[in-house]
Chain A
Amino acid sequence: MEIFQHPFLYPILLPLASGLLCLLLPKILSRVSGWIAVIISAFTVYLVWPLFMSEPQTLDLIANFSFKVDKLSGFILLATTIFGFLISLYSLGFMKKKIYQNKYFAYLLWTIAAACGALLANELIILLSFWGFLGFTLYLMIALGGAQASSAAKKTFIIIGATDSLLILGIGLVWIITGSTRMDGLAIPLNHPHTYIAFLTFAIAAFAKAGAMPFHTWVPDCGEKAPTPVTAFLPASLDKLLGIYLLARTANDLFVMNWAMNTLLMVVGATTVLLAVMMALVQHDLKRLLSYHAVSQVGYMVLGIGTGIPIGIAGGLFHMLNHAVYKSCLFLCTGAVETKTKTTDMDKLGGLAKVMPITFICCLIASLSIAGIPPFNGFASKWMVYQGIIDAGKSSGGLWIIWLAVAMLGSALTLASFVKVLHATFLRKPSAEVKQNTIREVGLSMTIPMIILAVTCVLFGVLAYRLPLNHIILPAVKDTVAFTGIWWAGPATFLLLVGIIVGFVLYFLGNKGKVRMVSTYIGGESLPADEEVTGIDFYKTIQDINPLNALYKMAEKNFFDIYDVGTKFIFLFVEGLRHVHTGRLPWYLSWVVGGLLILLIFLRS
């Protein structure tokens, strides 16, 4: 069987098989499954490395069974497997005492395998099957969260599964239009209603996976209820990588975009950026807040790809990679906090910076990255997206100014909300609920992934052009990327560092030893002992501003949740139909006779 000697198949088959092994291990050996996952996922990284480095190549096993790797899928493949490895390393610590370890690591390995399969597929049907399987593993992994996660798991899978089914329709249409489902030969011009429908089904599948509006509602639920490494791996990094991969594939390769569809993407992107960050501002739960940011950041990626300009697309892809890095870092930090304090409610946290310094620093770096502060990576990619928007504006219409304004506002609000996170979790006075003296920094297997990710945040920001862009992102974009604005990351970082050092020097020279400590006060009155200033309600007033308060109230009632609205709509019919089935036999008999009569009349004609 020489087909099994091909490097394309190992990253799929190996994790799949070892996942099955993990599942079959007896409970006593549950620690072993963790190590299997770590080793296999590391080995998968090793396996996909040559694929990443190689020139685009195709493998046709038999007819309709074709795989392909190119620069785009290559780098996402590498990123996926690396995240898989980091997460399994982290989970080794996080899952230590959980009873579902075997299952968890099995599903983790399956997810890696299916992601590799979906990325390597050169045949839409193969892509679809792996894509669907990913939805299934996502469901299984969320369901590991136990009874409290059951609703979130159900909702997630319904949204993902529905869009997967739509994808079947799209693939069918593509097949009818072009007579082929091979991805590398496709470039469908959008000129017929069927092509539009096909494009939209692909886009919707990508949106649902990545979590763009209006298919985002599963992300916050899942983020809040699922085990933290699951959230860090799936909604925060892997699903973004895959969703944006599909979107980029669809928009760049499979279809030839036109103005209308690009604008549609940009509308979706801009709405997602703004609305999700508004929701994030008012959250109390750390994981839920981060999840809303995971939604909001997708907006930037969609915006970038929607520009249709090489720099914008490159920016979107780069942002996807960066987002995966800093968002999983943030979730891992949250997981570390959760392991030690047993809660993620920001009302109950506080003052953890002293006891968990590594977590704090990683979280700080990642927060600054997500907020788009130079010189971290978030800024580099957002900057490219902005350039793409401006460039796109040159050629078409005056709408670009809106997208740009929204994107920048979103960035500002992101910063605002992370100020709240950092303050509430790490900086403010220790809260009463969390016993400070018992908390220590988390173990090595958990800190290493966080540190790696935080360092990556810095590296990808400072050396943005030299390291990731040059080697990873730019080859993945078809056309040459022209930078309109220039950002010298190196000198700027240098200047920033100098500024910070000068600040420190001034601080130490001028104020050393002269710090005045007073008790907290509000409006001149000192605070009673049982009250404290929390960061939680920093932005509560937003909810009371006039047009917004109505919107927030509707959002609280799930008025904008496509899942809830759909459910209510369907149940209208359900109740009607149930009402008709009365249990009266003559009534049922009359259906039969009526049906017979209609049949006969129809047949006569």
Chain B
Amino acid sequence: MIYSLCLILIGIGLYGILTKRNIVKIIIGFVIMEAGVHLLLILIGYRMQGEAPILQPGMKLSEFITRAVDPLPQALTLTSIVIGLGVLALMIAIAIRLYERYKTFDITEMRRLKG
């Protein structure tokens, strides 16, 4: 099913976050996972052979409601993308600073805080 595609995408992202040591790869894993989640959100509101949820002049309202896709998930996805961008920017900023301090991208080398 088409939903399983999103799940595969999420799974790939999760795999990347879990197993990769390189900070950049972890961040990429995040991006992939996020993309999967956003796709899932869109799919939930999607309707086969649906129309864009824009009411144009000359459309019957009842027909529009039966045919248009659910607009709310799209709005949610947009918001969520914006938030994801914010997180991504912060992650990259911290990654750059971390590289300045530790001279490495390997997250398992950064173990000053433990115990």
Interface residues of A (CB under 8 A from B): 578-579, 581-586, 589-590, 593
Contact = CB atoms under 8 A, between A and B. Distances in A.
23 contacts: A578-B115, A579-B115, A582-B114, A583-B110, A583-B111, A583-B113, A583-B114, A583-B115, A584-B107, A584-B108, A584-B111, A585-B26, A585-B108, A585-B110, A586-B18, A586-B19, A586-B20, A586-B21, A586-B107, A586-B108, A589-B17, A589-B18, A593-B14
Contacts of B20: 586
A586 B21 CA distance: 8
B112 interface: yes
Nearest to A587: B108
A590 B18 CA distance: 7
Of the candidates A579, A581, A583, the one having the most CB atoms from chain B within 10 angstroms of its own CB is A583
Given A586-B18, A586-B19, A581 B114 contact: yes
B21 to A, nearest CB: 7
Contacts of A583: 110-115
Contacts of B114: 581-583
B111 A582 contact: yes
Interface in B57-115: 107-108, 110-115
Name the residue in A579, A586, A590 with the highest tally of chain B Cβ atoms < 10 Å from its Cβ: A586
Contacts of A581: 114-115
B97 to A, nearest CB: 16
Contacts of B26: 585
Given A586-B108, A593-B18, 12 more contacts: A578-B115, A579-B115, A581-B115, A583-B112, A583-B114, A583-B115, A584-B107, A585-B108, A586-B19, A589-B18, A590-B18, A593-B14
Nearest to B23: A585
Contacts of A579: 115
- Which 9 A-B residue pairings sit nearest by Cβ, starting from the closest? A583-B114, A583-B111, A578-B115, A585-B107, A584-B108, A589-B18, A581-B115, A581-B114, A582-B114
Main DSSP-derived SS at the A contact region:
helix
B94 to A, nearest CB: 13
B115 to A, nearest CB: 4
Contacts of B112: 583
A205 B26 CA distance: 54
Nearest to A580: B115
Interface in B1-45: 14, 17-21, 26
Contacts of A593: 14, 18
A590 B108 CA distance: 14
A583 B107 CA distance: 10
B99 to A, nearest CB: 15
A376 B111 CA distance: 69
Nearest to A579: B115
Nearest to A593: B18
Contacts of B110: 583, 585
B72 to A, nearest CB: 27
Contacts of A582: 111, 114
A252 B81 CA distance: 72
A588 to B, nearest CB: 10
| Residue of B21, B111, B115 with most chain A CB atoms under a 10 A cut-off | B115
A593 B115 CA distance: 21
Contacts of B21: 586
A586 to B, nearest CB: 6
B111 to A, nearest CB: 3
A157 B115 CA distance: 27
Nearest to B17: A589
Nearest to A586: B18
B105 to A, nearest CB: 12
A579 B114 CA distance: 9
Contacts of B19: 586
B67 to A, nearest CB: 37
B19 to A, nearest CB: 7
> Which of A578, A581, A589, A593 has its CB near the most chain B CB atoms (within 10 A)?
A589
A595 to B, nearest CB: 13
A143 B93 CA distance: 49
Contacts of A589: 17-18
Nearest to A592: B18
Contacts of A590: 18
A58 to B, nearest CB: 55
Nearest to B113: A583
A73 B110 CA distance: 63
A590 to B, nearest CB: 6
A593 B21 CA distance: 17
A78 to B, nearest CB: 54
The listed residue with most A CB atoms (<10 A of its CB), out of B20, B107, B112, is B107
Contacts of A578: 115
A518 to B, nearest CB: 69
A590 B20 CA distance: 12
